[in-house]
Structure 1
Amino acid sequence: MLRFSRTKIIATLAIILIGLSLAVPSFVPADSRKAFMASLPAWFPSWVIPQRAIVLGLDLQGGSQLLLEVDQNDLVGSKVKALRDDVRGALQKEGVRADGGIQTLKRGVQVRIPDAAARAKVLPKLRELSQPIQNAIAGPGGGNTLDVSEQPDGLIQITLSDAGLIDNTRRAVSQGIEVIRRRLDSTGTLEPSIQQQGAERILIQVPGEQDPSRLEALLGSTAKLEFRMLADSPSGDVDLLPNKDEGGAKVPVERRVMASGAELTDAQPAFDPQSHEPMVSFKFNLKGAQKFGQATSENVGRRMAIVLDGVVQSAPVIRSAITGGSGQITGNFTVQQANDLSVLLRAGALPAKFTVVERRVVGPGLGRDSIEAGTRATLVAAALVVVFMFATYGVFGFIANIALFVHVGLILGLMSVLEATMTLPGIAGIVLTIGTAVDSNVLIYERMREEARSGRSLVSALQAGFDRAFATIIDSNSTMAIAAIILFFMGSGPVKGFAVVFILGILTTVITAVTLTRMMIAVWYNAFRPKALPF
């Protein structure tokens, strides 16, 4: 117990020094870090220098917060539109014609097929459109996405089921989170926090962003890009959409989508070589290039509508087949609008429209006040703990205080490596772990005192103190870790920030309160050879 090899001491100190060095970037301004890294010679390995820093949360450095909610009407509308196309494809594949065409309902479509033989032929294909809802744990068994019903007069209705609507909402929120994350990452925004709130909402926090207007513009657009043909007349299977080139006047556009933004591989802002106006150039994947090439080759001389979120951005005439898999979008864009549109197209379209139900801007002044208040609380708590431990346990209290400072430094180092977000509840978690860290030392020291009073020698009492208190320390920290893990997985926002800090604090407590404290006491004993406990 009181014998530590030189190798073990060096290894322990090296691990502690590395952990503490990882926390250094968090106390150095970003500009200074970049300047220092730029000043290093080219031959020097940059990975040797810690560069990651703790990210301050919205409540500490200010920023913007948006709460988005799925627009159920838009979600249902998009699903009904997709269902209509699927039904049309099934009818065409079987060679069946519906009387009166495909009629759209509020939550589905209906077709009338009087001929019983044709109806019997196509009905199984329509039923195949309804898929079982997958449960992440139990697998299939949550119902079907569609309800298919048949009337005696040949009317067939295909509607979204209640379970299907719930499942579509869940998928839309999940997909929306990923799309929003890609959009914000493309802008270089610093560590946005994007989390699901309830069943239909997404909470977005962007630290350091004081102007939420551009943020709303990036997130408010579904960025649903479609390439369709302009119709010759407003009758038939067409939509009347506003045309940006004609001052918003509505023009007939065929409902059939020739190609979509989902098949894009890249989109970049550019300038028109003739007019020198900003535009967006795009590239299709192989499948999209084939569809786009076929559409343009079959419709030479007609106008193709480039539709973005239900608005015709431009409608150029197809002069010849475009088989290269690339094109341009023009529409009197500004440079900023062209850049934002390219970001939206690269990130992908949102599955449905999301509306802003709450917006909040936290000023940097409030963040500084929070930091100062949290810092004061941490320093006061640490000072009181240090005084108490030194007054109660003497030199052993001094050893515990050294371990305590290492404990806090390791927490900050681990948070820097993980680039975790420090929030005000996170500071509260650090204050709490200060108390729990010394609690482990108190258990060890009191056990030593009991063993010494029972007549054991000093060496035996020191050994028993660590050995017999170790199980209690593990048990108490394990129960706290279980609670912290539950908070992390079931909580959100500030609750998760508190849980992360608390979990890291529990891990470092075991290291500092047991390994580091034991090593320092061993060094103290071998140096002074005392006859009794110093407290």
Structure 2
Amino acid sequence: MELKNRVKLSAILVIILIIGWILINGMSLGNYKIIPVKDAINYGLDLTGGVYVVLEAEETETDPITDEKINRAIATIRQRIDALGVSEPVIARQGDTRIRISIPNISDQQEALELIGKTAQLEFVGPDGETVITGEHVMDSTAVYQNNSMGIQEAVVSLKLNEEGTQAFAQATQEFLNQVIEIKLDGEVISAPVVNAVITDGQAVIQGMGDIDEAGNLAMLIKGGALPVQLDAVEIRTIGPTLGQDSFDKSLLGGMIGVALVFAFMFLYYRAPGFVSTIALSIYIILFMLSSVAIGYTLTLPGIAGIILSIGMAVDANVIIFERIREELKLGKSVLASVDAGFKRGFTTIIDSNVTTLIAGVVLFTLGSGSVRGFAVTLMLGIILSLFTSFVLTKRILKTFINASILNNKKMYGA
């Protein structure tokens, strides 16, 4: 039994070291490449810079600019940027007719600017020149592959129409059977299919796409909705990180020193359980990095603050548990019984404090925007992982050490 637990512990330590090394340095396995975690994480404007653009609404005598139109334009632009997979954008109104946008960590800035500022007025126009349906009648749009008349697979945009659009389109396809219905985007014909059948199910397809990326961009524009006003770019420039690479490197070094000091304190003060907590916290940091990459989280300065706070809460949970274990040992209980009782007694206190903080994180995420939401994400993710590492990993690892007859002396617990 002791040998089995010692082998288990050795395997855990080896796996932690291997995963940690891969996260720091990356690894290549044939054609499959794992990049270092620092390169896989998205960084915000303050850490990596991005693109800055100012859009101005164009006013005409027949189409005056109103606060309602500017607010709708901001909402549409935000939806489009979210569809690009960009997190933590800064979108704000500037004066009466301008919108200021800062987009972090974007690879193709020109393409993004075109998508943001495009009006995306979609129209299906019959041979009589009358508009059959518009983008307002579209409930959903997605980029898919389908076979054309020659059996060749091509990228198209699939549209799902609302009830009003379905009726209007059914009537139009019946009226213009075997005729052309042009599909126009911002007045330009992008597809001119011939109506081969009456379409009554509210499903329409836009053909003539170059590839699936072009189809995806168009689908995103249509789904995001048309801009209520014409917007012209009056300023476009690349912006650098406000924090600076040197300051960022120093922040990382400071963070590593801080974690090392925490590990040293836990080991020196709590001895055996402190050593186990350093193993569990190492796993916690690994899980946090992997989770951040998996959810596509964008790291900013407030996000770093959330990470530091969540690490502190993870340590705090271990401190509460270890103090309870010491109290049980002083009552004369065995090491294993003290560990079980310590985790059981510390559970309520830790849950209460973490749940209230989690509720605060949910409120910040729901009501906040930009960097505030970034802080809330790291805080909530940290709390969830902290509870997992404290009550599952730390307990299992500590009991494995005890069952392996390595940490079963009361003196090792400071009692």
TM over 0.5: yes
SS in 2 for 1:208: coil
- 1:357–1:389 Cα change, 3 Å: farther
CA distance in 1, matches of 2:13, 2:229: 50
Residues 196-215 of structure 1: pairs in structure 2 closer than 5 A: 205-209=103-107, 212-215=109-112
**Corresponding residue for residue 350 of structure 1:** 226
1:35 equivalenced with 2:31 (yes/no): yes
TM superposition shift of 1:405: 0.8
Q: Which residue of 2 aligns with 1:457?
A: 333
Is 1:517 aligned to residue 394 of structure 2?
Answer: yes
Structure 2: 5+ residue runs without aligned partners? 145-154, 161-165, 198-203
1:426 matched to 2:303: yes
Equivalence map 1:336-347=2 (5 Å): 343-344=217-218, 347=221
Q: Aligned residue for 1:192?
A: 86
Deviation at 1:181, TM superposition (A): 4.8
Counterparts in 2 of 1:395 and 1:169: CA distance versus 1, 3 Å: same
The residue aligned with 2:149 is: none
Deviation at 1:517, TM superposition (A): 2.4
Change (3 A) 1:377 1:14: same
Is 1:433–1:502's contact at 8 Å kept on the other side of the alignment? yes
Change (3 A) 1:464 1:68: farther
State how far apart, in whole Å, the 1-side matches of 2:158 and 2:323 are: 71
1:55–1:203 distance in 2 versus 1, CA, 3 Å = farther
CA distance in 2 between counterparts of 1:416 and 1:20 reads: 19
Is 1:388 the counterpart of 2:282? The answer is no
Letter of the 1:456 partner, please give it: G
Aligned to 1:47: none
Q: 1:55: how far off? A: 3.5
Distance 1:467 1:498, change over 3 A: same
Q: CA deviation at 1:446?
A: 2.3
Question: 1:451·1:464 contact (CA, 8 Å) conserved in 2?
Answer: yes
Q: Report if the CA contact (8 A) 2:125-2:131 is conserved.
A: yes
Q: How far off its partner does 1:410 sit?
A: 1.6
Q: Which deviations, in whole Å up to 9, do the C-alpha atoms of 1:182-211 show, x marking residues without a partner?
A: 5x4xxxxxx3127796899796635233x6
Q: Which of 39, 60, 63 lines up with 2:50 in the alignment?
A: 63
Q: Which position in structure 2 is the counterpart of 1:216?
A: 113
Q: Does structure 1 conserve the Cα–Cα contact (< 8 Å) formed by 2:53 and 2:101?
A: yes
Aligned to 1:440: 317
Does the C-alpha gap of structure 1 residues 408 and 65 become closer, same or farther in structure 2, counting only changes over 3 Å? farther
Counterpart AA for 2:121: K
Measured after TM superposition, the shift of residue 510 of structure 1 is: 1.8
Q: Classify 1:369/1:438 alpha carbon distance in 2 versus 1 (closer, same or farther; 3 Å).
A: same
Letter in 1 for 2:226: L
The answer to whether the Cα contact below 8 Å between 1:421 and 1:497 also exists between their aligned partners in 2 is: yes
CA distance in 1, matches of 2:26, 2:392: 33
Q: Report the Cα distance in structure 1 between the residues aligned to 2:401 and 2:188, rounded to whole angstroms.
A: 79
Give the letter for the 2:43 counterpart. G
The 3 A distance-change label for structure 1 pair 346 and 205 is closer
Q: Which structure 2 residues correspond to residues 142-157 of structure 1 after superposition, within 5 A?
A: none
Seen in structure 2, the aligned counterparts of structure 1 residues 292 and 343 have a Cα distance that, compared at 3 Å, is: farther
Q: Which residue of 2 aligns with 1:482?
A: 359
Gaps of 5+ in 1: 39-50, 78-105, 108-161, 185-190, 232-253, 269-279
CA distance in 1, matches of 2:353, 2:205: 63
**2:163 corresponds to which residue?**
none
Secondary structure of 1:193's aligned partner: coil
**How big is the shift at 1:490?**
1.8
Contact in 2 for aligned 1:63/1:363 (Cα 8 Å): yes
What does residue 323 of structure 1 align with? 195
| Cα pair distance change 1:341/1:472, threshold 3 Å | closer
Q: How far apart are residue 176 of structure 1 and its match?
A: 5.3
Deviations 1:383-439 (A, max 9, x none): 111121222222332122111111111212222333333333323322222222111
Q: From the superposition, tell whether residues 445 and 197 of structure 1 become closer, same or farther in structure 2 (CA, over 3 Å).
A: same
Please state how far the C-alpha of 1:374 moved relative to its aligned partner.
Answer: 3.5
Once the two structures are superposed, the pairs formed by residues 125-524 of structure 1 within 5 Å of their partners are 177-179=78-80, 181-182=82-83, 184=84, 191-193=85-87, 205-209=103-107, 212-226=109-123, 256-258=130-132, 260=134, 309=186, 322-324=194-196, 343-344=217-218, 347-348=221-222, 349-353=225-229, 355=231, 361-363=238-240, 368-369=245-246, 371-453=248-330, 455-459=331-335, 461-524=338-401
Q: Show the counterpart of 2:409.
A: 530
Quickly say closer, same or farther: Cα 1:224–1:393, change in 2 above 3 A: same
Q: Which amino acid aligns with 2:228?
A: A
How far the C-alpha of 1:534 sits from its partner, in A, is 3.5
Q: Secondary structure of 1:361's partner?
A: strand
Alignment of 1:92-111 (within 5 A): none
Displacement of 1:359: 6.0
Sequence identity percentage: 29
TM-score, scaled to structure 1: 0.52
Classify the secondary structure of the residue corresponding to 1:222.
Answer: coil
| 3-state secondary structure, aligned to 1:510 | helix
Q: Secondary structure at the match of 1:503?
A: helix
- The letter of the residue matching 1:485 is V
RMSD (CA atoms): 5.5
Count of residues in Structure 1 that have an aligned counterpart in Structure 2: 371
Task: Answer yes or no: is the 8 Å Cα contact 1:22–1:413 preserved in 2.
Answer: no
Of residues 17-26 and 353-362 in structure 1, the stretch that sits farther from structure 2 once superposed is 17-26
Q: Displacement, 1:524? A: 3.5
CA shift for structure 1 position 493: 2.0
- SS for the counterpart of 1:479 is helix
Does the CA-based 8 Å contact 1:228-1:306 persist in structure 2?
yes
Classify 1:230/1:387 alpha carbon distance in 2 versus 1 (closer, same or farther; 3 Å). same
Give SS of 1:469's match: helix
* Alpha-carbon separation, structure 2, partners of 1:466 and 1:199: 52
Residues 207-261 of structure 1 show CA distances to partners (whole Å, capped at 9, x for unaligned) of 233x634322222121214466999xxxxxxxxxxxxxxxxxxxxxx8x535546
* TM-score normalised by structure 2 residue count: 0.65
Structure 2 residue identity aligned to 1:353: V
Q: Structure 2 vs 1, CA of residues 342 and 24 (structure 1 numbering), >3 Å: closer, same or farther?
A: same
